[in-house]
Amino acid sequence: EVQLVESGGGLVQPGRSLRLSCGVSGFSFGDYAMSWFRQAPGKGLEWVGFIRSNLHGGTTDYAASMQGRFTISRDDSKGIAYLQVNSLKTEDTAVYYCNRRLKASAFDYWGQGTLVTVSS
């Protein structure tokens, strides 16, 4: 059974940094690109970015609005994907989801999400 479990969310003050983790099981992690999304309370889905498999260079792409403060990385030996967010703003408050990128625009397995609340 494929499982993705996000962790690392919580209450954070504006300006601080946070690193979210996404542990996976049930598939060969190194063979797939992994992606992050977020969903602000009561709002729609917003793509953050993704990281290709190391077979495809392990490079990253981000939504234009996420460039600069967001960094996605991966550790294939541990089967974990990471999302680093710097200089957090109140508008970053959201549930953050990781998922497996099957192909362009197709994200076939999702975690349950982790809530990040940015507030003083």
Partner 1 sequence: QSALTQPASVSGSPGQSITISCTGTSSDVGGYNYVSWYQQHPGKGPKLMIYDVTNRPSGVSNRFSGSKSGNTASLTISGLQAEDEADYYCSSYTSGSTLEVFGGGTKLTVL
Q: Which residues bind partner 1 (CB under 8 A)?
A: 37, 44-47, 61, 63-65, 97, 99, 102-108, 110-113
- 104 versus 120: smaller Cβ distance to partner 1: 104
- 11 versus 102: smaller Cβ distance to partner 1: 102
Q: How far apart are CA 1 and CA 25, in angstroms?
A: 8
Helix, strand or coil, per DSSP, at residue 52: coil
Instruction: Say how many CA atoms lie within 13 Å of 54 toward its Cβ.
Output: 10
In angstroms, what is the minimal distance from the CB of 15 to partner 1? 25
Tokens of 40: 């602000």
What is the sign of the dihedral through the CA atoms of 7, 89, 51 and 40?
positive
In angstroms, what is the minimal distance from the CB of 88 to partner 1? 21
In angstroms, what is the minimal distance from the CB of 50 to partner 1? 8
- 91 versus 106: smaller Cβ distance to partner 1: 106
Tokens of 107: 């994200």
In angstroms, what is the minimal distance from the CB of 75 to partner 1? 22
Q: How far apart are CA 35 and CA 53, in angstroms?
A: 11
- 31 versus 108: smaller Cβ distance to partner 1: 108
